[in-house]
Amino acid sequence: MTPDLLTLTGLEVFAHHGVFDFERENGQRFVIDVELALDTAPAAGADDLAQTVHYGELAIEISDAVAADPVDLIETLAERVAGVVLAHPPVQRVRVVVHKPDAPIPLPFSDVSITIVRHRASASAPHAATTGTPAHTSSAPVTGDAAP
């Protein structure tokens, strides 16, 4: 069965990530897009929010995770966001895009971003890793996927 897709696009978070001291000191805008693959039929059939992902609460969780604990790379930040999303049991796969529109690039550009896709791993996966921050630690194993 093809999963349903829930999309949250353009979540803006001010944070202090980057490899340069001035990025850590001054901070900058990050824009997050997530696409969640899940089965929404049970929630729709029962008209029950508890059977799906509350996207308002998810947006706050993602914002809190992005704003916390500065890291050097947007790749690391994308992994953190994937862990937050996969902590929600209905989610089987997540596509995360982290945009850094104000990156310190000395030429005109409109955006730089990283896109990752992560899947909930089966319990038998031998090398499954968990991601997330201490405040949003996911017990759900995740696996990578090169396809966007």
Helix axes 55-67, 74-86, angle to 10 degrees: 150
Domain extent listing, the chain: 4-145
> pLDDT at position 143, please?
54
Residues marked as catalytic:
100
CB atoms within 10 A of CB 42: 13
In 3D space, the residue among 48, 55, 41 whose CA is nearest the CA of residue 11 turns out to be 55
Q: What is the pLDDT along the chain (148 residues), one digit of tens a residue?
A: 779 999 999 999 999 999 999 999 999 999 999 999 999 999 999 999 999 999 999 999 999 999 999 999 999 999 999 999 999 999 999 999 999 999 999 999 999 999 999 999 754 333 333 333 333 334 444 555 544 4
Phi, psi of 95 (to 5 degrees): -115, 125
Annotation: CATH topology of 4-145: GTP Cyclohydrolase I, domain 2 (3.30.1130)
Which pLDDT belongs to residue 134?
Answer: 34
pTM for the model: 0.82
Q: Cα separation of 105 and 87, whole Å?
A: 34
